[in-house]
Structure 1
Amino acid sequence: MSGTVDGEQTRRLTARGIRTRARIVSAAADLMRVKGVDATTMDDVRAASGTSKSQIYHHFRDKNELVMGVIENVGDFIIRRETDSLGHVSTLNGLRRWRDALVQANDLRHGAYGCALGSLAGDVADHDEAARAALARLFRAWSDLIADALTRMQDRGVLKPDVDAHYLADGLLASLQGGYLLAQTAGSAAPMGRALDMALDYIAMLSPNRADGR
């Protein structure tokens, strides 16, 4: 996915400039996750990143560009994490371990702040078309990683061959995102765990060897 700085400009940045830009984006991502996109100002980001106004506007023409930089940064992190977590999954137990890792990480903060990517989507998708499109691509990439794991399960005979892996992947990702939201409002990761368990129990029922769902 292309960022707010094109390839030529990226190559012209010095090592110090790259570090400064990364610090600005990291500070903005933290602030937007806690305060929300609308409540986060450029001055907030300047103070949190320890940079000057001229440094921020050297890298980002306005807040919209900074939001796109945050989406790219957060998205890249999540897709790398999910690639590592799902890249070799080919069993239901592997999916359950993936579920456990996400729930345990969320439980450490008592459900607070939800999914970083989902929170951004809730803040900007309805009124920023460029941001919505970028988020849609990232969620599609995430769903595709889940679908790849489900396809490997089909190849091993763990799932029925006529199952639509992409259909199931979208449902599982929706359960995850809904679980994040419920955990956020409950102050506990328990609802997130239950949402994922129900989705995985349904997937288990699609095994040719477990048609009764047990």
Structure 2
Amino acid sequence: MDIIPVLDIARGKVVRAVEGKRWAYRPIETPLSRTAEIVDVAQGLGKLFSFRKVYIADLDGIEGRGRNTRIVPSISQALPDAEMWIDAGTGSRGAARAILATPVATLVVGSESLESVRDWEEIAAEAPQRTVLSLDFRGGEFMGPDALLKDASLWPQRVIAMTLDRVGANSGPDFDTLKAIGSKAKGRRVYAAGGIRDKADLDALRSAGVAGALVASVLHAQKISASDLKEITSRKG
């Protein structure tokens, strides 16, 4: 099972995400780092565990303030062996090409950033094996083109079920949404994002057939230890 730490970044700092309310995000305070600087927090994660992947939410890009091109070099310095999953609000093929120009980058496309299925198809055509689709939900509603949720043949091999209002809310994973997506995924790897509170939640996700989980608050609250991470990631599936 993959455990993927999340770095939510806004205006050059790592911020603490709470229920997808991006206007309320503030620079993170964590025992893993002395500051909210990107390199410091990334180094703190690296000292905790040798993560194989890291998820980077470039909130400036997602909210239309301009993509932060310095993020990947900064994090690569701290986590040189990690694959970078980058969501920068990509909604066009040109924007996708810019991210994919970095060899260590895997492009994450959030459904909330897409205006049409055609936009998604053009983006995915750039590098299908290096593209992940995030199916975004808020308040029980899908954020994105309805046809993209309904037609699983459009999905790549890796799909995230992102429940934004559960992010940082300590409310538990959205198992109903995960079950619905998993039933349509047909062999694709499904990743859970939002609400994970502890190792028990990760165990339950694995039992439900989830391939991996995106986590942040649970790491900074130290509710999952390095030994927990080693045990969970060593399991197949």
Same fold (TM over 0.5): no
Instruction: Provide the TM-score with structure 1 as the length reference.
Output: 0.27
Instruction: Provide the TM-score with structure 2 as the length reference.
Output: 0.25
Bigger Cα Rg = 1
Higher helix share: 1
Higher strand share: 2
